[in-house]
Amino acid sequence: MMYNDLIEKQIIGRLKIDNPWWTENEIPQYISSMHPRLYLDIFYPLLIDTEVRRALLLMGPRRVGKTVLLYHSIGRLIADGVSPRNIIYIAVDTPIYNKILLEQLFDLAKQALDKTDSKERFYVFFDEIQYLKNWEVNLKSLVDTYHNVKFVASGSAAAELKKRSNESGAGRFTDFHLPPLTFYEYLHLKDYAQLMQPFEIDWSNGKIRGNKTIDITKSNKLFIDYINFGGYPEVVFSQRIQENPGQFIKHDIIDKVLLRDLPSLYGITDVQELNSLFTMIAYHSGSQFSYEGLSRDSGVKKETLRRYIQYLEAAFLVKKIRRADDTAKAYKREMLFKLYLTNPSLRCALFQPIEENDMTFGNMVETAIFAQWIPRDANIAYANWNEGNKKQGEVDIVGINEARQKPDWAVEVKWTDKPFANPSTELKSLEYFMRANNLTHAMVTTISETGKKDMPYGCLQFMPAACYAYTVGENTLKSTKLSFGL
Name the CA dihedral angle for 434, 438, 442, 444, rounded to a multiple of 10 degrees: 0
Distances (CA, A) of 39 to 14, 81, 147, 480, 486: 29, 22, 27, 9, 12
The whole-number average pLDDT for the span 466-480 is 96
Give 301: exposed, middle or buried? Use CB within 10 Å, 0-12, 13-18, 19+: exposed
What is the per-residue pLDDT for 255? 72
Instruction: Please check the confidence at residue 170 and state whether its pLDDT lies above 70.
Output: no
- Res. 137: pLDDT tops 60: yes
Report whether pLDDT(1) > 50. Answer: no
pLDDT digits (tens, 9 = 90+) for 30-89: 999 988 999 999 999 999 998 888 999 998 888 889 999 999 999 999 999 999 999 999
pLDDT tens digit sequence for 92-119: 989 898 888 999 999 999 999 999 988 8
Q: How many angstroms separate the Cα of 289 from the Cα of each of 232, 297, 334, 456?
A: 27, 11, 11, 34
The pLDDT of residue 389 is 60
How many CB atoms neighbour CB 344 within 10 A?
Answer: 28
Question: Which residues fall within 8 angstroms of residue 25, CB to CB, at 6 or more apart?
Answer: 78, 84
Give mean pLDDT, residues 10-26: 95
CB 190 within 8 A of CB 236: yes
Confidence grade of residue 144 (pLDDT, cut at 50, 70, 90)? very high
Residues with Cβ within 8 Å of 314's Cβ and at least 6 positions away in sequence, in order, are: 157, 158, 159, 160, 262, 265
pLDDT at 165 over 70: no
Each residue's pLDDT tens digit, 343-392: 998 898 888 889 998 999 999 999 999 999 998 888 999 999 986 666 78
For residues 218 and 185, give the distance between their C-alpha atoms in angstroms, rounded to a whole number: 16
Residue 317 pLDDT > 50: yes
pLDDT at position 388: 60
Sheet with 288-289, side-by-side order of all strands: 288-289, 337-341, 318-324, 380-385, 393-401, 406-412, 441-446, 458-464, 451-455
- Indicate if the pLDDT at residue 234 is higher than 60: yes
pLDDT at 420: 97
Q: Is 351 exposed, middle or buried (0-12, 13-18, 19+ CB in 10 A)?
A: middle
Q: CA 180 to CA 187: how far, in whole Å? A: 14
Share of the chain above pLDDT 90, in %: 62
Q: Which residue has the higher pLDDT, 171 or 445?
A: 445
Distance of CA 121 to the CA centre of its chain: 32
Percent of the chain exceeding pLDDT 70 equals 92
The band of 252, judged by pLDDT with boundaries at 50, 70 and 90, is low
Q: How many CB atoms lie within 10 A of CB 28?
A: 12
Assess whether pLDDT exceeds 80 at residue 203.
Answer: yes
How far is it between the farthest Cα atoms of the chain?
81
Per-residue pLDDT, averaged over 309-331, amounts to 89
With contact defined as beta carbons under 8 Å apart, do 352 and 298 qualify?
Answer: no
pLDDT tens for 380-411 read 999 999 866 667 899 999 999 888 889 999 99
When pLDDT is averaged across residues 250-275 and rounded to a whole number, the result is: 76
* Confidence at 4, pLDDT banded by 50, 70, 90: confident
User: Regarding predicted confidence, which is higher, 205 or 416?
Assistant: 416
